[in-house]
Amino acid sequence: MGILVEAIGAHGPRGEKNVKDKLGRRIDYLRISVTDRCNLRCLYCMPAEGVAYKSHGDILSYEEIVRFAHAGAQLGIRRIRLTGGEPLVRAGLLELVRGLKAIPGIGELSLTSNGILLAPLAGRLKAAGLDRVNISLDTLDSQKYAQISRRDSLPAAWAGIRAALEVGLEPVKINTVALRGINEDELPALAALTLKHPLHVRFIEVMPLGDDLDWARQHLLPLNEVKDLIGTVGELAPARVAGSGPAHVYRFAGGLGTVGFIAALSHNFCHLCNRLRLTADGKLKPCLASDVEVDVKGALRAGADMGEIQALYRKAVALKPSRHKLQQYREQGRNMNQIGG
């Protein structure tokens, strides 16, 4: 990875920090999707048949991603999250972790994963510079796991969670999409994991992306209902956890971890939005819930210099909408696996 750092130069952050948008939102967080491929097919995310094959030329190389992140760090990007698709299905991810962590100004590097391939890699990811991880888990029941993800992989996901704790990735968060009629009966048990383990379970409302918007509408479980459901486990007191972003966070008395709620639909938090998203195919998205995109791949491949790349960041920041329109259940071009969450 020394190679990548040399290729982009080892400059420190250069002055122009803290890019803000027209609403004064400071954009310091970049989510990078490294692939739209995945070893699961979650009902709310991915078509059952998977995604069309993309050649290496279609997706950004690790060198291109690092160059792009380096330009962002000079504009005030301080935190990066790797996501997908499933980021661990892309070969050589350790190389990317090392390259991103070596960028001056990048303080925190995190990963969102389904955890299935994590157990054998967790120690090396940590050694390469990964700080923390979010692992997706919607159920503790094998059959239900297979129903939701269309794959029978719960033991591997659990092994990934255990390994993340063992190697000291900190905090380990669990992303749980709350689904009416599918996993609502299990939400108390998932929340109760935080009593005995230092896990931070975050409940997420299902967002209408992809082909079947009616499915998302039917299964939306507003998080105030989730909060009532898990109130059966114990009394919740307000708490804090690193990098909680828009989540409302609580702790059960005596609990080792926390419980958080991310209610993108029922409690809009766009005024707190601090992020841009880079898709695997090289588009910069000002908003997860909009088809507006800025092409980055073309510029990178045409040899854009740091200033030209930064102009693309500024363009995307200027295009950030004041708030999303997910409540309108309108069709969009990408499924979540093509955005990154």
Residues found near ligand SAM in the complex (CB under 6 A): 38, 44-45, 83-84, 86, 112-114, 136, 175, 177, 204, 206-207, 209, 336-337, 340-341
DSSP annotation of 159: H
CB of 83 to ligand SF4, least distance (A): 8
| Contact status, residue 34 vs residue 84, Cβ threshold 8 Å | yes
User: How far out from the chain centre does Cα 41 lie?
Assistant: 17
- Of 147-206, binders to ligand SF4 (CB under 6 A) are 149
Q: Count other C-beta atoms under 10 Å from residue 74's C-beta.
A: 23
Please tell me the distance from the alpha carbon of residue 181 to that of residue 183, in angstroms, as a whole number: 6
Please choose which of ligand SAM, ligand SF4, none residue 207 contacts, taking the beta carbon within 5 to 8 angstroms, the exact cut-off set by kind: ligand SAM
Q: From 99, 106, 130, select the one nearest 13 (Cα to Cα).
A: 106
State which residue has the least CB distance to ligand SAM. 341
CB of 219 to ligand SF4, least distance (A): 14
Q: Could you give the 3-state DSSP secondary structure of residue 307?
A: helix
Q: Considering the rule CB under 6 A, would residue 85 count as an interface residue with ligand SF4?
A: yes
Please tell me the distance from the alpha carbon of residue 79 to that of residue 27, in angstroms, as a whole number: 10
CB of 299 to ligand SAM, least distance (A): 25
CB of 274 to ligand SF4, least distance (A): 22
Q: Considering the rule CB under 6 A, would residue 138 count as an interface residue with ligand SF4?
A: no
Q: What are the C-alpha distances in Å from 184 to residues 164, 179, 189, 219?
A: 26, 6, 10, 10
By CB under 6 A, which span of 33-41, 59-67, 179-187, 271-279 interacts with ligand SF4? Answer: 33-41
Residue type for position 131:
D
Please tell me the distance from the alpha carbon of residue 52 to that of residue 259, in angstroms, as a whole number: 36
Q: Considering the rule CB under 6 A, would residue 76 count as an interface residue with ligand SF4?
A: no
User: How far out from the chain centre does Cα 196 lie?
Assistant: 25
Please choose which of ligand SF4, ligand SAM, none residue 133 contacts, taking the beta carbon within 5 to 8 angstroms, the exact cut-off set by kind: none
CB of 321 to ligand SAM, least distance (A): 18
Binding mask 90-129 for ligand SF4 (x = CB under 6 A): ------------------------x---------------
CB of 114 to ligand SF4, least distance (A): 4
Q: Could you give the 3-state DSSP secondary structure of residue 17?
A: coil
Please choose which of ligand SF4, ligand SAM, none residue 41 contacts, taking the beta carbon within 5 to 8 angstroms, the exact cut-off set by kind: ligand SF4
Which of 76, 85 has the CB closer to ligand SAM? 85
Judge residue 238's burial from the number of C-beta atoms within 10 Å of its C-beta, 0-12 exposed, 13-18 middle, 19 or more buried: exposed
